[in-house]
A and B are shown apart, each in its own frame.
Chain A
Amino acid sequence: MSVDLATVKRVARLARIAVTEEEAERMTGELNGILGFVEQLGEVNVEGIEPMTSVTPMDMKKRADAVNDGDKADDIVANAPVSERNYFLVPKVVE
């Protein structure tokens, strides 16, 4: 399988990365190089093989359903590019 320019632009949109026409063109070539490389996986017989979901045989640990942390609003917004009164500020999303 290979990608064309329109697909690259669609994927960039899905990934929320702005791309210029020139970048999209360059990426088309690069992505096709990588997709060409991974294509060889198609030749492996995987009939009856389970996909890996966990590399170590262990049950997922679950924590107790209890409050064990909190009251850190200042810490949580400390690194926000824009914040006000412990809220993250974003451009208007509702008209």
Chain B
Amino acid sequence: MTELTSLTIAEARTKLQAKDITAVELTEAYIGAIEAANAKINAYVTVTPDKARDMAKASDARIAAGKAGALEGIPLGIKDLFATKDVHTQACSHILDGFKPKYESTVTQNLWDDGAVMLGKLNMDEFAMGSSNETSYYGPVINPWRENGSNRQIVPGGSSGGSAAAVAAHLCAGATATDTGGSIRQPAAFTGTVGIKPTYGRCSRWGVVAFASSLDQAGPIARDVRDAAILLKSMASTDAKDTTSVDLPVPDYEAAIGQSLKGIKIGIPKEYRVDGMPDEIEKLWQQGIAWLKDAGAEVVDITLPHTKYALPAYYIVAPAEASSNLARYDGVRYGLRVDGKDIVDMYEKTRAEGFGKEVKRRIMIGTYVLSAGYYDAYYLQAQKVRTLIKRDFELAFAAGVDAILTPATPSSAFGIADETLAADPVAMYLNDIFTVTVNMAGLPGLSVPAGLDSKGLPLGLQLIGKPFEEETLFRTAFAIEQAAGKFTPAKWW
């Protein structure tokens, strides 16, 4: 018999329904895998084995009673950004020290309502601010992938680095993640996993620790395209508790998988060919184009002229929103408090000790661009540029394009504690150059593994779709997956 942890969600679902395996057995297999691996990979910041066992028992009872939900008995990891009742929820920040909410996020509640089992909370960049998972208060996550013939430690990407690493190392069947500028798609690309950021408004933001509210969206990271479709179906909903939640029924995303690409038009934006991009990325992109043509899609060149302004506009809009959202951490209602000589001194000391360097940097930028005299020059200008970025996509879609194919990242995963990146915040920000446009325009974006580079590290392709047409992305990504195959790291942990 194969290892239980090697089953995809779809495979485990079949075996659970056929009663070949029990939810308790499956959950025990994952708890064992986490115990053996977590000290080396650091994907989980909290493991909840007792809760997992209780949930699995309840799942087995529902399966026996013929009342199984869509994710019955499937063990999942949850990014530390999601509020989980009475369980560690700290956005991997010291400032939320000891925080255990008395409520559950809508996304995780949807998963438990469908029968999923919680294994624990996953590591991430502090407040989802980072592209390498190195800004976490709990230390970096180690990518389960290694370069050929090397044991150098590689980052899993970020901010959902724990989610991506746990999925790649089979430490959960699937994971929740969030994406503000690329935080689902970049780590998915770095770990050979599938990640989708759905359209803004598709998943409720209620109970998700806020970073930049007009950009944040939750989505899954999974082992393959089908599993991502299964997870998104359960995570998405219409939620009265989130005013930006959309009133549209959630489609059966899995039904889109395997549909022909005949009649689908794929746009290739020339602006995503950036200076210094490795030849391997260009080659992968061309390979993706060829695969989609072979699968029956029509491929056309398009132009998205404001692409290069998306990242600078993001680094005004996101820090501005973050500086407002993070104002709530003041040492009064929850988390860390450092005493001071008066209340302002208490605030300042608490925030100085509680926030890490990158978070402080972004709060400072946000405070500056929103401060008197600079608002028009920075924030207003950035919001106007954002309108233009969105318009670029609207024109492409109006001309008949159904989805857009780009590389997911400008490189494969890099080493832990990379000196160049540590010395230059902007160099780290450039990781999100291909993904950030999608958040600025509120569109759905999916990253699918497409190959390995010469060092043996995974590379991903990104598909960008029309608002609320995630089905087209699953359908197209499945064609790429069929051609490229799936990628699993060699076990060293």
A residues touching B (Cβ–Cβ < 8 Å)?
1, 3, 7-8, 11-19, 27, 30-31, 33-35, 37-42, 44, 46, 49-56, 58, 60-63, 72, 75-76, 78-82, 88, 90-93
Q: B368–A31 contact, CB under 8 A? A: yes
Check B312–A56 contact: CB distance below 8 A. Answer: no
Given A15-B367, A31-B361, A41 contacting B385 (CB threshold 8 A): yes
Task: Tell me if B333 is interfacial: C-beta within 8 Å of chain A.
Answer: yes
A38-B316, A41-B316, A63-B240 are known contacts. Are A78 and B102 too (CB-CB below 8 A)? yes
* B residues in contact (CB < 8 Å) with A: 98-103, 199-201, 214, 240, 243-247, 306, 308-309, 312-313, 315-316, 323, 327, 330-337, 339-340, 342-349, 351-352, 355, 360-361, 363-365, 367-368, 371, 374, 377-378, 380-388, 390, 424-426, 429, 440-442, 467
CA distance A34 to B77 in the complex (A): 34
User: Within the complex, which residue of A12, A52, A82 is in contact with B364, where a contact is CB–CB below 8 Å?
Assistant: A12
In the complex, A89→B1 CA distance in Å? 58
A58 to B200, CA, bound (A): 11
**Would A80 and B333 count as touching, CB distance under 8 A?**
yes
Contacts of B240 in A (CB 8 A): 61, 63
Give B381's nearest chain A residue, CB to CB: A41
Q: A14 to B367, Cβ gap below 8 A?
A: yes
Residues of B within 8 A of A79 (CB): 98-102, 333-335
Which chain A residues border B309 with CB–CB below 8 Å?
A: 40-41, 44
- Contact present for B378 and A38 (CB under 8 Å): yes
Contact B365 A31 (CB under 8 A): yes
Q: Which of A3, A27, A88 contacts B361 (CB 8 A)?
A: A27
The minimal Cβ–Cβ distance linking A22 to chain B, given in whole angstroms, is 13
Contact A55 B442, CB 8 Å, known A1-B377, A75-B102:
yes
B387 touches A52 (CB 8 A): yes
How far does the alpha carbon of A18 sit from the alpha carbon of B199 in the complex, in Å?
Answer: 38
Tell me the complex Cα distance, A18–B332, Å: 17
Which of B336, B340, B368, B441 is close to A55, meaning CB atoms less than 8 Å apart? Answer: B441
Name B200's contact: one of A27, A39, A56, A75 (CB within 8 Å): A56
Neighbouring A residues of B334 by C-beta, 8 Å: 79-81
Contacting residue for B340 out of A1, A46, A91, CB 8 A? A91
CB neighbours (8 Å) of B424 from chain A are 33
Q: Is the CB of A91 within 8 A of B342?
A: yes
Give the residue name and chain of the A residue nearest to B347 (CB).
A16
A63-B240, A93-B343 as given contacts; A11 in contact with B368, CB under 8 Å:
yes
Is the Cβ of B384 less than 8 Å from the Cβ of A51? yes
Are A51 and B387 CB-contacts (below 8 A) given A12-B364, A33-B424, A81-B335? yes
Q: Which single member of A15, A33, A80 contacts B426 (CB below 8 Å)?
A: A33
Smallest Cβ distance from A29 to chain B, in angstroms?
10
Take A44-B306, A61-B243, A75-B102 as given contacts and tell me if A15 and B364 are in contact as well, using a CB distance cutoff of 8 Å.
Answer: yes
Is the Cβ of A18 less than 8 Å from the Cβ of B364? no
Once bound together, how far apart are the Cα atoms of A12 and B335, in whole Å?
21
Chain A residues near B384: list those with CB within 8 A: 44, 46, 49-52
Query: Given known contacts A19-B352, A56-B201, A58-B246, what 6 new A-B pairs fall within 8 Å (CB)?
Result: A11-B364, A61-B247, A75-B103, A76-B102, A90-B343, A90-B346
Report yes or no: A80 in contact with B332, Cβ–Cβ below 8 A. yes
Contact across chains for A56 and B467 when beta carbons are under 8 A apart: yes
CB distance from B198 to the nearest CB of A (A): 12
Given A13, A51, A91, which contacts B346 in the complex, CB threshold below 8 Å? A91
Bound form: Cα–Cα A80–B100 in Å: 11
Q: Which residue of B lies closest to A37 (CB)?
A: B426
Residues from chain A with a CB closer than 8 A to the CB of B102 are 72, 75-76, 78-79
A17 CB contact (under 8 Å) in B355, B371, B381, B383: B355
| Pairs A–B under 8 Å by Cβ, sample size 30 | A1-B374, A11-B368, A13-B348, A17-B351, A18-B345, A18-B348, A18-B351, A19-B352, A31-B361, A31-B364, A35-B368, A39-B312, A41-B309, A41-B385, A44-B306, A51-B380, A51-B383, A54-B214, A55-B442, A56-B200, A58-B244, A61-B240, A75-B103, A78-B100, A79-B335, A88-B333, A90-B343, A90-B346, A92-B343, A93-B342
**How far is B240's CA from A63's CA once the two chains are assembled, in angstroms?**
8
Q: How far is the CB of A37 from chain B (nearest CB, A)?
A: 5
In this complex, what residue of B is CB-closest to A77?
A: B333
Within the complex, what minimum Cβ distance (angstroms) separates B214 from chain A? 6
Residues of B contacting A90 with CB < 8 Å? Answer: 332, 343, 346
